[in-house]
């Protein structure tokens, strides 16, 4: 059906695709430290805050919430990429195991 060289070449292409997907999702350089810094930046709310201070606080919190949603979406994409890579590796392992079993049974 397929020659051994074609199957090995197909396996190599699958590995290259997995590496590409992995690199694509993990090379984004957005650190989660910005999210941790939020607690240090937020001003304590008091009863004597002016309306402008409250508006500024609400805008800052809204901005942080928006950043956190973007971070959540990015992390979900990373998880999807990891699941895809794990699936590819499982299929490759199945193929290689079947190939080894075929070659040892022939001997």
Q: pLDDT by residue (tens digit) across 70-95?
A: 999 999 999 999 999 999 999 999 99
This prediction has a pTM of: 0.49
Between 32 and 62, the more confident residue is 62
Structural domain boundaries enclosing 32: 4-106
Count Cα atoms within 13 angstroms, Cβ side, for 15.
Answer: 10
* Number of separate domains in the chain: 1
Mean per-residue pLDDT of the chain: 79
Q: How confident is the model at residue 11 (pLDDT cuts 50, 70, 90)?
A: confident
- List, in order, residues 6 or more apart from 45 with CB less than 8 Å away: 54, 57
pLDDT, average across residues 48-57: 85
Element housing 104 (H / E): helix 51-106
């Amino acid at each position: 059906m397929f020659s051994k060289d074609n199957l090995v070449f197909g396996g190599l292409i699958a590995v290259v695709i997995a590496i590409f997907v992995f690199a694509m999702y993990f090379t984004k350089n957005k650190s989660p430290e910005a999210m941790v810094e939020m607690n240090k930046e937020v001003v304590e709310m008091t009863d004597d805050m002016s309306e402008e201070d409250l508006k500024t606080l609400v805008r800052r919190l809204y901005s942080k919430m928006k950043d956190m949603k973007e971070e959540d979406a990015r992390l979900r994409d990373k998880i999807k990429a990891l699941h895809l890579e794990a699936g590819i590796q499982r299929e490759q392992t199945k193929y290689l195991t079947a190939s080894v079993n075929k070659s040892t049974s022939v001997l």
